[in-house]
Chains A and B, each alone.
Chain A
Amino acid sequence: MNKGANKALFYMFITFLGFVFLIPLIYLTTTSFTSRIELTDFPKPIIPKFYHDVEFQWDNDNNRYNFSRLNNDGEYELLIWGDSEGLSKYLEEKLNVVMTPDELEDEIRISKETGDVVHLKLYKTVFLNYTKFFDVFSGAGNAFKNSVKVAIYTIILSLSVGGSLGYALARSEIKGKEAIGIGALVVRMFPTIAISVSAAVMLINFGLFDSMIGLAVVYSIPNIGLTAWITKGIFMGVNKELEEASLVFGATKLQTFKKITLPLVLPAFAASSMYAFITAWNDTGVALLLTNRNQTLALLLYNSIGGTSSIHYAAAGSVLLITPAVIFTFFLRKYINKLWG
């Protein structure tokens, strides 16, 4: 009878739920497209605005342009005055509008000639905050590189050490399998921060403190166990007869592994790598304790908190930081469901 209406209501509810859940993230993205001048606007729009309504008026007595912007209350608010050179700089810094002084002069010259007010719609350079993020926060470029580096090291360490452990657990008779399983679980649950104090001392002894390899070692602690667990399940699932057949037909062990086993287990390795990537890429706490000058991107953003005038750049950096993790989560969603996050 009322099934259609019920269904519509259900989907409305679901959409609303998803929307509310994502509100913080939507606002972060909006902030990353916000200019300095809009930071003090209230209320802030949910969807970002990509242009400003502005007016220029030539002031003959003082020989300069007066510049006003349409504010949230619908009034033109006088912000600054000056020549086109100064205004061009102001526009870039405060309004995210990039225009050379000559281009600006061309647009507003009429006001000088006729004395009229010139109304303009100035479009923002959309990704300006994203490029400026790397200028405003010195070391952001390096931090970005460090984050990529530490993620790659973590993947290599976790896959090589964890993968071979997983293979051994799946394929051969070794003593103490149960102990290894419990050990891996304990290590995975173990609070990393609690050993990072003594881990710092250890890393100093190895000369790895404040280095990305040192960080990767600590990130690999929970991830090797996890990788072993994932790959063990997959190696057990791979048909052993297929491998034996390949051996019978004269392939070497290495060839068999390369041609038969590896293609079958590749998805598991991909999933493990993404897990390792996310662990390394997302971490802030361990990096805070184990690095000094070599920051990762996440740590840099942690340190940026508190600076209110550059928060729109930090928001852009945050979106950069979030994007890969969200993309990988999309690919991992089936695995996560099986592995409980």
Chain B
Amino acid sequence: MNSTKTKKPFFKSPYLLVLPALLFYSIFWAYPVFTAIREVFTAIDGGGFTLDNVFALFHDKKFEAAVTNTLVFALVSISLQFVLALALALIINRNFKGSSIFLFVMMIPMAIPISAVGVIWNTGLTQYGWLNSFLDITGLQAILEWLGILDGLHLWTDVSGMNAVMFLILIDTWTVLPSVMIIILAGLQNLNKEYSEAALVFGANRFQTVKDIVIPIIKPTIITALLLRIISGVQVWLISVMIFDFDKVPFLVERIVYYTKFYYGEEAYKLSVSYSLFVVLIVMGIAYLFLRANRKAERGVV
């Protein structure tokens, strides 16, 4: 028959090229995901279906703190990073001489492995560390002391609770600002310059042009940047652990690692998979919004 004639033999089929990826993801990704979900809903003694592990989550002493810290971290850090990244992207987008070098310089922090970031801030935040040295050398220390903000050499890691979260946001901003900036910059570079030039000609000032012309046009890009950032913001933990150690400033993912690394036994294991599921649900929820926004943007652009 005709249809069998056009059919290629299996070893020439394009599906053969898809097969390795399919196998890889089924074995090394889907299977662990599946077992994790199964573990959440089965009892400790290998029994049947149960919701106990989910409820155990709410009984964890640090659960509430972890949720609040994570949410505050994600929301405050993206707001701060968005404003700074937009300003930087607008500067770089002016395409001045040397702007590509400047872009590279600003990209460097995102290339730094997080454990090196830990070393950097651990040498920096002590009383005789580089941060205080820098303040001292530049004379900022004297100014801040005169203003009454600082009183002698400050031990920067001596913060707790919400202040510690804010402090981590500042450190995180240094590391991830470039990645937010790059997304916004990509959006700006696709923007037709004539719109903003026209606005300037018609008497709008720079701020108005950015607010009323640039931002609305690159809105899809901005949404992408923000959602991607929230996804990574929700997963923050390592920087907190490196500066304050485990269990001091709890975050959701920090809980997963904490119960895996420091406890042996079924109960801790169940707790960590429950936390995992919790994080996965949040992340996938945001990813869904991302996909929807993306699709809308694709339809809108044409």
Contact = CB atoms under 8 A, between A and B. Distances in A.
B74 interface: no
Nearest to B37: A198
B36 A285 contact: no
B1 interface: no
Interface string B81-107: 000000000010000101010111111
Interface string B114-129: 1110111111101011
Interface string B154-183: 000000000000000000001000110011
Contact of A43 (B132, B253, B291): B132
B110 A28 contact: no
Contacts of B14: 168, 171-174
Interface in B202-241: 224-225, 228, 231, 234-235, 237-238
A284 B182 contact: no
Contact of B134 (A21, A23, A183, A326): A23
Interface stretch (A87-95, A134-142, A188-196, A242-250): A188-196
What is the size category of the interface that chain B forms with chain A? 35 or more
A146 to B, nearest CB: 14
A46 B137 contact: yes
Contacts of B20: 160-161, 164-165
B120 A43 contact: no
A323 to B, nearest CB: 10
Given A42-B136, A198-B33, A289 B111 contact: no
B32 to A, nearest CB: 4
B145 to A, nearest CB: 14
B116 A285 contact: no
A259 B161 CA distance: 61
Interface string A184-209: 01110111011111111110000000
A42 B128 contact: yes
Interface centre among B25, B33, B277 (most CB of A within 10 A): B25
A76 interface: no
Contacts of B178: 341
Interface stretch (A78-86, A263-271, A295-303): A295-303
Contacts of B129: 44
Contact of A180 (B18, B106, B128): B18
B114 A314 contact: no
Given A220-B24, A329-B107, A202 B32 contact: yes
Nearest to A175: B15
Contact of B291 (A182, A308, A314): A182
B104 A301 contact: no
B242 A305 contact: yes
Q: Is the interface of A mostly helix, strand, loop or mixed?
A: helix
Contacts of B283: 189-191, 194
A174 B133 contact: no
Given A24-B120, A25-B108, A187-B25, A322 B18 contact: no
Contacts of B124: 24, 27
Contact of A194 (B21, B109, B115, B256): B256
Interface centre among A25, A193, A201, A298 (most CB of B within 10 A): A193
A191 B279 CA distance: 8
A187 B29 contact: yes
A168 B108 contact: no
Interface stretch (A49-57, A123-131, A331-339): A331-339
B24 A161 contact: yes
Interface in B246-301: 253, 256-257, 260-261, 269, 272-273, 276-277, 279-280, 283-284, 287, 290-291
B200 interface: no
B113 A298 contact: yes
A116 B13 CA distance: 89
A18 interface: yes
Nearest to A333: B104
A234 interface: no
Contact of A24 (B132, B174, B238, B277): B174
B78 interface: no
A104 interface: no
A180 B17 CA distance: 13
Given A187-B29, A337-B185, A278 B111 contact: yes
B128 A40 contact: yes
Contact of A302 (B96, B185, B242, B256): B242
A152 interface: no
Contacts of A212: none
Contacts of A187: 25, 29
30 contacts: A21-B108, A24-B120, A27-B130, A42-B133, A161-B24, A164-B20, A172-B14, A191-B234, A191-B253, A191-B279, A194-B276, A194-B280, A197-B276, A199-B32, A201-B32, A220-B24, A220-B28, A221-B25, A224-B21, A284-B115, A314-B119, A315-B123, A322-B111, A322-B112, A325-B113, A329-B108, A333-B107, A336-B107, A340-B179, A341-B182
Closest 4 CB pairs of A and B: A172-B14, A168-B17, A43-B133, A27-B130
